[in-house]
Structure 1
Amino acid sequence: MQARSDAFAKPVVLAKKTKPLMYTGRAAVKANAVPGAHQVVVAGVGCGKWVARGKFTVPAAPNSKVVKGIVTSKAGVFVRRQPTSNSTAVGAYRYRQTINLICKKAGQPVGGNRAWYRVNMPKGWVTARYVKAQGAVPNCK
């Protein structure tokens, strides 16, 4: 069987163990994989379709510092797929919620602010217009 995720450097071959039935394998994770939970899809040999889904967690690199942010909008803030308010919302954070900010980059301006923060739960982007960073957020690579 093979497992895939956008965080893997390449598909992972899984070995079957018996009693109880489970699969094991090792994954090389991309250097730029965002820390946090990632969905993994597993393909069965010969079936041609995805047969199982699971999750794994990419830990934060020891030298990477995740900066905390606090949502300042009373309406909360949407998490978007891309750093633009035209992008699909994949989640939301509520007012005064503390969130992890991975990195920042310029995107569509919101209220005159072009900065967007990468978040990992759910994976996406939030506008800096409605989030106050508790420290310096590094630029995305």
Structure 2
Amino acid sequence: MYGSDKTNAIQNFTRLLTPQQAAIYQKITNERRHIYFVGFGLGLIASFIFLAWNHTSRAGSRRLNRTSTVCIVGAITLTINYFYYMLAPKSDWMILHIDGDTQKKAWLHVYKLMQYNYHFGALLGLAGALTIGNVFC
């Protein structure tokens, strides 16, 4: 997410923006980044709560095995992150500030790239959550 603003698609798009549009774009990207990391943090907190519960209250034969625990940790983290990001209120949308066909086409290219980056980042986050779950089992 931090390096995603350095891609050619985004640089081409930002070159087409007026200074006012560029400021709006920067505000929107900072807000979205913050929402993403808050959702990921909440997912990790919920996963740690689950791990603590599984370790303390499910003693003996009722405790989940390592594979089940790791999968549940990944599912908790990813689900909370995804729904938090999708349901969190966003203060503004870039599409409302775009003028002309050239900016629209450039924005569509950026939007598709961001969709890819979001899902790739979610998979990396899932891998990290699975690793954390595996360590604490």
Q: What is the TM-score with the length of structure 1 in the denominator?
A: 0.21
Bigger radius of gyration, 1 or 2?
2
Greater percentage in helix:
2
